[in-house]
Structure 1
Amino acid sequence: MAGVALANGLNANQVHRWMRERGIVPPSRRTPVGVGLNALAEPGFVAVQVAPGVEASVIRVAAQRGNARVKLEWPLQAADACGAWLREWLA
């Protein structure tokens, strides 16, 4: 939490106070029983629903890796190529 606070120009104590005031329990540093560290680090599939009536002909992606930021538009017809490029860039 301290790293997140510092990255956003905040004091970690202030973030803890805000969480406490809102009844939010800070995340535990302990690994859940039966879950290895590799299982926690693996990316998962995130399903995205597109609202009805929204025309999607272009994939728009904003990604960051370290200090490098990328914003791109990719034709929907080449979605598989977009996925392959993203996997390569984020690896």
Structure 2
Amino acid sequence: MEQGTGGRWRRVHSDEFKAHVVEASKQPGVSMAAVAMANGINANLLRRWVLMSLASTAVPPRAELASLPTHADFLPVPMPTVPSEQALEPAPAPIRIDVQRGSTAITVLWPVSAAAACASCLRELLS
């Protein structure tokens, strides 16, 4: 059915049609775009109808609220201890210095936390 006001026309769909199309889109292996195209509607409109149907079923009726578990039914579950954030971060790679003179090769690994001491040692060796 189509409605028109002020020169603009808009199609109006029945609730039964909307429910039928939403159910058809929920079938496994069916795309919303294909269902929308087969029923002559825009895929964005169908997506909106699906979201609206999910929102309307998300809140249980009052009768169902009474059957939900209460706090007395709550059972605490022990959780494993999580290491601090520092333990989760990987250790920075050490400063690596490779020196080769003739047939002699030396590799020096220096911790990044002592970078200033590394620079000082290199200044002394190279001066």
Q: Same fold (TM over 0.5)?
A: no
Structure possessing the higher radius of gyration over alpha carbons:
2
TM-score normalised to structure 2 length: 0.24
TM-score normalised to structure 1 length: 0.33
Higher helix share: 2
